[in-house]
Structure 1
Amino acid sequence: MVARVALCSAVVALYVIGVQACTEGLDAETAELAKMLRDNCGEETEVDVGLINQVNAGADLMPDPKLKCYIKCVMETAGMLDNGDVDVEATLELLPEPMRTKNEHIVRTCGSKRGADDCETAYNTQSCWQKMNKAEFCLI
């Protein structure tokens, strides 16, 4: 269940205010799991939550080291990142229909955008997702 939540955050990846758009359409339990994931990864990485809110308000992903590792934490916890590579099939399995159909080409086209480390790989991949569908991209 947590994995399903994470990709909702990534492709399309939550807290109090900018979170509404990311969790719209999710049931209460899934939205609560997403919040827990955001809280846990936020605490672990000490990311500036303001950066996440800026992205959810339409800003491009910033190359902030803590934001990169926050994205890695979310993706890894969700099972989307395995041994430093994005698992495209697992990622697609996490998406509910019709989100999967709508975004499959994005996930497959971007694949796994390798970086210097796992944090950068997660960031590079999500940057690709964002560029391909900025209007619907958000982070939990």
Structure 2
Amino acid sequence: MTRQHGQGAKGPSQRQLRVGELVRKELSDILTRGEIADPELDGIIVTIPEVRMTPDLRLASCLFMPLGGGDGEKIEKALNRCAKYLRGLVSRRMTMKYSPDLRFVLDTRFDDDDRIESLLHSPGVSRDLETDTDGDDGQD
């Protein structure tokens, strides 16, 4: 039997979760203090809700959300442009053998939740749900 690595059936390991949380905390601190001198990020508050690490801890996918709205794609490009600089700042604050490469991805989970919620309350879906509960379910 071979051992599965990564986010297979078991999900991320405790080490991945711990390192991801450390990277998230340091990135949040760096972004809060405004240590990036990028004109596209001036005056924009960015939150990092989650960092997902690969099993070898060499790549960190950093989910971010701009607070108060804003152009997420523009901010994503700016953060990815500053990724090497941010990697250097994070590596100075953490004691790891290798500093992970950072990739920033816009977190759309809340938008997806709103979209699914509106779909579930649409007339077509509610009609289908009513017919399933009113009709015979085929079991005796």
TM-score normalised by length of structure 2: 0.27
TM-score normalised by length of structure 1: 0.27
Instruction: Report the structure, 1 or 2, having the larger strand content.
Output: 2
Bigger relative CO (Cα 8 Å, ≥ 6 apart): 1
Q: Which has the larger radius of gyration?
A: 2
